[in-house]
Amino acid sequence: MDFVTDRLENGRAFRILTLVDQYTRECPVLEPGVSLTGSAVVACLQKVATQRSLPVSITVDNGSEFAGRALDTWAYLNKVKLDFIRPGKPV
């Protein structure tokens, strides 16, 4: 799970939350927004959880959206391990 960032024609930045299944390479989430917080990430994961089973682990970087309390609490309550990459070593 990570973010892709780009800019609109007027220069305003936006981000897209991408969630990719490492086994099937399927992408069940592409969530665009100009401000995606940890709570927004949790809301996207909850939406996915209504359509499919939750993974055992999710690989994320150390961004504030992923390392914050909202996602940590969600992962704990849903028994999902957050697998943080080493800083500066993208997968």
CATH of the domain at 11: 3.30.420.10
Q: Where are the beta strands (DSSP E) in the chain?
A: 2-7, 13-19, 29-33, 57-60, 81-84
Residue 19 lies in a domain: yes
- Single-letter code of the amino acid located at 40: A
**Residue 80 predicted with pLDDT over 90:** yes
**Is residue 60 included in any domain, yes or no?**
yes
The domain in which residue 47 lies consists of 2-84
Residue 89 inside a domain? The answer is no
pLDDT, tens digit (0-9, with 9 covering 90-100), for 37-77: 999 999 999 999 999 889 999 999 888 889 899 999 999 99
Residue with the two structure tokens 């997968």: 91
Band the pLDDT of 90: cuts 50, 70, 90: low
- Under the banding of pLDDT at 50, 70 and 90, the label for residue 89 is low
Residue with tokens 């500066």: 88
Task: Please report whether residue 90 resides in a domain.
Answer: no
Quick check: is 63 in a domain?
A: yes
Count of domains in the chain? 1
CA distance 58 to 42: 12
Q: What is the pLDDT of residue 26?
A: 92
